[in-house]
Amino acid sequence: MDPELLADLRTPLGADALAVAAEVADADPLVAATRLRARGVAPALAAAALTQADLRRRAAAKFGPDAAGMFLTRPGLEQATRAVVADRRAARLAAAGVRTLADLGCGLGSDALAAARAGIRVYAVDADPLTAAMARANADAAGLADRVTVECADATTVEVERFDAVFADPARRRAGGGRVFDPRSYSPPWDFVAGLAGRVPRTVLKLAPGIDHALLPPGAEGEWVSVDGDLLEAAFWCGPLAAAPRRATLLPGAAELTGTGTVTGPVGPVGTYLYDPDPAVVRSHLVAEFAETVGGRLADPDIAYVYTDAPVDTPFARRLAVTDVLPFSLKRLRTLLRERGVGRLEIRKRGSALEPEKLRRDLRLSGSRGASMVLTRVAGAPTVLLCRP
Average pLDDT (228-243) is: 97
Average pLDDT (286-310) is: 97
- Residue 173 DSSP class: B
- CA 379 to mean position of chain CA atoms: 33
Name the more confident of 278 and 21.
Answer: 278
Distance (Å, whole) CA 55 – CA 62? 11
Q: What are the residues whose beta carbons fall under 8 Å from the beta carbon of 169, sequence distance 6 or more?
A: 79, 81, 103, 104, 105, 106, 107, 111, 205, 206
The model's pLDDT over 156-170, given as tens digits with 9 standing for 90+, comes to 999 999 999 999 999
The model's pLDDT over 19-31, given as tens digits with 9 standing for 90+, comes to 888 888 777 777 7
Average pLDDT (214-239) is: 96
Average pLDDT (382-389) is: 93
The model's pLDDT over 357-380, given as tens digits with 9 standing for 90+, comes to 999 999 999 989 999 999 999 988
Q: Rounded mean pLDDT of the chain?
A: 93
Label residue 371 exposed, middle or buried (CB < 10 Å: 0-12, 13-18, 19+).
buried
Answer whether 256's CB lies under 8 Å from 270's CB: no
pLDDT of 128 higher than 60: yes
Answer whether 311's CB lies under 8 Å from 271's CB: no
SS3 298: strand
Q: What are the residues whose beta carbons fall under 8 Å from the beta carbon of 346, sequence distance 6 or more?
A: 370, 371, 372, 373
Label residue 366 exposed, middle or buried (CB < 10 Å: 0-12, 13-18, 19+).
exposed
pLDDT of 175 higher than 60: no
The model's pLDDT over 181-222, given as tens digits with 9 standing for 90+, comes to 677 777 888 999 999 999 999 999 999 999 999 999 999 999
Distance (Å, whole) CA 116 – CA 48? 28
pLDDT of residue 199: 97
Cβ atoms within 10 Å, residue 382: 15
Helix (H) or strand (E) holding 232: strand 230-237
Distance (Å, whole) CA 142 – CA 354? 49
Helix (H) or strand (E) holding 61: helix 43-63
pLDDT classification of 132: cutoffs 50, 70, 90: very high
Distance (Å, whole) CA 58 – CA 70? 12
Distance (Å, whole) CA 129 – CA 4? 11
Average pLDDT (280-286) is: 98
pLDDT of 9 higher than 70: yes
pLDDT classification of 281: cutoffs 50, 70, 90: very high
pLDDT of residue 304: 96
Answer whether 334's CB lies under 8 Å from 326's CB: no
pTM of the complete model: 0.92
